[in-house]
Amino acid sequence: MNILHIDSAITGDASVSRQLTAKIVAKLTADQPDAAVTYRDLAKGVPAIDNDWFHAVRLSPENPTAEQQALIDISNAYLNEVQAADVLVIGLPIYNFTLTAQLKNWFDQIARAGLSFRYTAEGPEGLLKGKRAIIAYTAAGTPFGSELDFASGYLRHILGFLGITDVEFVPADGLAFDRDAGLARADEALDRIAA
């Protein structure tokens, strides 16, 4: 089993989402000690897609410049990690009711027509099928699944668009109001996660 472990919280060791993703990965590897883990800390920065990215990555020039090749290589590295993974463990801290900018940038980097999805006569088809995603949702005040939560539905949708429909959440919400209760809910959800 190949696990891709992704964190995006900017709060370092104080991050609850980082603590939860580490617990999820520990549970998966305890049950499957031969599992390989690739770790990616998006808080270190993920380039936003822009006009240069579009001309390099999306338009795929036959003879890219050195600058274009660097943009292609970055995007390919992110996508290759996802393609190689059987399980994605993603930390989803909620900032201003939604996902972090770094995590959104990462999805923009890996959503590549012809590689991670394609358009067909029947509509779009995800090409990253057969994978599982476990999401550590953490929020100080945004209840998981509420009308204020613009992140979990987006993650389920974008992962499904890419072909990943086996999506589970380990939510720790309401941390600003009752931290212990929020962490207890996350531990209960974690206990239900099968390896």
Binding residue ranges for FMN = 15-17
- CB 128: neighbour CB atoms within 10 A? 21
- Gap between the Cα atoms of 64 and 74, Å rounded: 14
Residue 4, SS3 per DSSP: strand
Query: How far is the CA of 143 from the CAs of 11, 27, 171, 172, in angstroms?
Result: 20, 25, 9, 9
Q: Which amino acid is at 138?
A: T
Q: Is 171 left (phi over 0), alpha (psi -120 to 50) or beta?
A: beta
Cβ neighbour number for residue 84 with a 10 Å cutoff = 11
Backbone conformation region of residue 180, classed left if phi is above 0, alpha if psi is from -120 to 50, else beta? alpha
DSSP string, 122-180: TEEEES-TT-EEEEEEE-SS--TTSTT--SHHHHHHHHHHTT--EEEEEEE--TTT-HH
Q: Residues annotated in the binding site, as ranges?
A: 15-17
